[in-house]
Amino acid sequence: MVRWSLTLSVLVLMASACSLTLDFDECSTDAQCATLAAPGQVLVCSAQGFCVEGEVIDDEPDADDEPDVDDEPDVDDPPEDVVDDVPDEPDVEECCTHSQCADEQGANFICNPQCECVNALSAECFAIEGPIDNDNVFFIGSVLPTRGPNASKGIPREQAIQMAVSEFNQNGGLGNGRRIVHIGCDDDGDAEQGKRAAEHLANVVGVSAIVGPAFSSVFIDVSDQVTSQSDVMIMSPSATSASITTLDDNGLSWRAVPSDAFQGVAMADRVRDLSAMLEGDIKIAAFGKDGAYGNGLLNKLSEELAFEVGDGNFEGAIYDPDQDLATPVIQIIDELGAADFVLLFGTNEVVTIIQTYEDQVAERGLTPPKYILSDGGQALELLAFVEQNPDLAGRIEGVAPDTKNGRLYTAYNQRFRNRYGVDAGSFSANAYDAAYLLSYGAILLPQDEPVTGTALAGTMEFLIQGSKLETGPSNIGTARNILLSGNPINYEGASGNLQFDLDTGDSAANVILWLVGQDARLDYEFQDTMTYRIGDDGLTGMWGMLEE
């Protein structure tokens, strides 16, 4: 697919900020603004406490300035009748502003790019972070499952975006008084609802960037039918289907998470390692959730393992999570008999499959299997299930992209815990990094022109090279100054380094092996135990000890 790039020298353009009172000040003196100015730029402190572009005004007249004499007409002044014949300037219809729309039509009304006062919220979009009535803002939308059965996955990711936006706004925003506003939407894991949410963000609100969707099937439909046609850049924190790599998306679909192509290889190698410790023929049952994610992983594992275990020893089934889940389980056990490994490529509904499989095994007097899950099964529902069935703890493990970047993740998780009272959920660090990347990209774009998704996507190449810059609120000012001075940064995120392939929008990462274990308080939790490190070919790797 075609990706777009921008010349950095033409990106460093900033417009004066509209003056609007916020809950915090950026400055109190011109001297403070001088420390934020890029080379050749003059920043002064406005009456509202923002650093804005300006010039020092000398209030004292020069000694040799001659006062104007009103009584004598200038020699060059044209006759009055000529002046009267000059046509009047045509009336220019002024566009609305966010503050005007809020004052006239109510809270949460904004002025969209078509100069229409519109409600930023809708039936699917109901979360706001940031000063929405500020006239100088950059909008970031999100489309995630924040209600319904997958809310335990979507809510922490939306919270991570909100935290990132709050950190930017409290540390100077995008400069020149410009702040960020996040509008959060719920897709309930459903493609049709996801498209409605994305259409509202893209065509009503007029956002240029969306974090999400979380699930691969929803992401693909939103990209194909909404954002690629509306010039909106999307970046998913967790859509891992391998088919996303080749989307025809006008270069607008990105993800802050690696493809399942590598996760599938890691899982296959894990099965091989475990199989080496068993005697006789190995039998494998595999279940994939209907959609790009489940189909892709089932196909990959079948490709990797079916030939090795031989005819009749690998049975796979695609299931609809909204339909009867017992039927595919019973059919596979009837075909295969006792499986050594049950591979599950789904989300929280895999708990039902495990329970059904256990019931069938007990009823038929078969040996219980080892369950190996993909990242989607790493849900709170699984922890609650194991707590009720502790004998299963030793027979459940899974693989997932390695999204915890050492001390940077630890620091991020502590900030998340301080704000929300719980540890960050799976892929929330990826959502946080996506919000940071989109915000840094917006700094590079002219603030006196509408931001487009194409232009924003073009800034990504300037965020993966240059000086290493770690994520977090303490480095926002430094990053802003570096970018405005015409230099790139190499963003080091809470989830990883995120070295994007600029041709595909993909990023690479290692894979971790996780287990269900107990912490010091005997509460069940997901525990990382091993790492599958990417080899030099970028396609294969090897399991090894977890890096500290």
Say how many Å lie between the first and final Cα of the chain, rounded.
37
Please give the Cα distance from 431 to 161 (Å, whole number): 6
Residue 45 amino acid letter:
C
d(CA 449, CA 91): 22
CA neighbor of 416 nearest in space, from 437, 402, 430: 430
Alpha-helical runs (H) found in 216-349: 216-222, 228-230, 260-275, 292-309, 326-336
CB 546 within 8 Å of CB 530: yes
- Nearest Cα residue to 468 out of 443, 487, 485: 487
Q: β-strand 396-401 against 117-119: which pairing, if any?
A: unpaired
The Cα–Cα gap between 304 and 542 comes to 15
**CA geometry: angle 452, 456, 459, nearest 5 deg:** 150
The token pair at 83 is 């002046």
Beta bridge partners of 343: 286, 372
Measure the CA dihedral 53/59/60/61, to 10°. Answer: 80
Say if residues 375 and 401 touch (Cβ distance below 8 Å): yes
What global pTM score does this model have?
Answer: 0.78
pLDDT of 13: 37
- The residues that bridge with 143 in the sheet, in sequence order, are 185
Closest among 348, 320, 319, 430 to 150, alpha carbons compared: 348
- The torsion angles phi and psi of 156, rounded to 5 degrees, stand at -60, -30
Residue-level pLDDT at 71 = 45
Domain with CATH 3.40.50.2300 in the chain: 105-258+405-492, 261-400
Quick one: pLDDT at residue 37? 64
Q: Which helix (H) or strand (E) holds 384?
A: helix 380-388
DSSP H or E stretch at residue 482: helix 476-484
- pLDDT at site 25: 55
Rounded CA Rg of the chain: 28
pLDDT for the residue 547? 66
Instruction: Retrieve residue 161's tokens.
Output: 């975006």
pLDDT reported for residue 323: 93
What size, in residues, is the chain? 548
Task: Residue 269: count other Cβ atoms within 10 Å of its Cβ.
Answer: 18
* Tokens describing residue 295: 């189909």
Those residues whose C-beta lies under 8 Å from the C-beta of residue 376, and which sit 6 or more positions away, are 289, 293, 345, 346, 347, 350
Cα angle, residue 375 at apex, residues 371 and 378 outer, rounded to 5°: 75
- In 10 A of CB 99, how many CB atoms? 17
Q: Are 447 and 174 in contact (CB under 8 A)?
A: yes
Name the region of 254 (left: φ>0; alpha: ψ -120 to 50; beta: rest): beta
pLDDT number for residue 546? 81
Q: Which two tokens stand for residue 530?
A: 């091993």
Beta partners for residue 542, in sequence order? 533
SS (H, E, C) 486-506: CCCEEEECCCCCCCCCCCCCC
Q: Which pLDDT belongs to residue 40?
A: 62
Between CA 126 and CA 144 the distance in angstroms is 12
**261-400: which CATH topology?**
Rossmann fold (3.40.50)
Phi and psi angles of residue 436, each rounded to the nearest 5 degrees, phi first: -65, -45
Using CA atoms, how far apart are residues 346 and 293, in angstroms rounded to an integer?
8
Residue 46 has which token pair?
């406005």
CA 77 to centroid of chain Cα atoms: 61
Per DSSP, the three-state class of 26 is coil
pLDDT tens digits, the chain, 548 residues: what are they? Answer: 444 444 443 333 333 333 333 344 567 777 677 666 655 666 777 665 666 666 544 444 444 444 444 444 444 444 444 444 444 554 445 899 999 999 999 999 999 999 999 999 999 999 999 999 999 999 999 999 999 989 999 999 999 999 999 999 999 999 999 999 999 999 999 999 999 999 999 999 999 999 999 999 999 999 999 999 999 999 999 999 999 999 999 999 999 998 988 899 999 999 999 999 998 899 999 999 999 999 999 999 999 999 999 989 999 999 999 999 999 999 999 999 999 999 999 999 999 999 999 999 999 999 999 999 999 999 889 999 999 999 999 999 999 999 999 999 999 999 999 999 999 989 999 999 999 999 999 999 998 888 999 999 999 999 999 889 999 999 999 999 999 999 999 999 999 988 899 999 998 888 999 999 999 888 999 999 999 987 777 667 899 988 65
- Quick one: pLDDT at residue 2? 41
Q: What is the pLDDT of residue 30?
A: 75
The CATH code of domain 105-258+405-492 reads: 3.40.50.2300
pLDDT of residue 533: 87
The answer to whether the CB of 495 falls within 8 A of the CB of 429 is: yes
CA torsion, ordered 267, 273, 274, 280, to nearest 10 deg: 120
CB 235 within 8 A of CB 222: no
Quick one: residue 212, left, alpha or beta (phi over 0 = left, psi -120 to 50 = alpha)? Answer: left
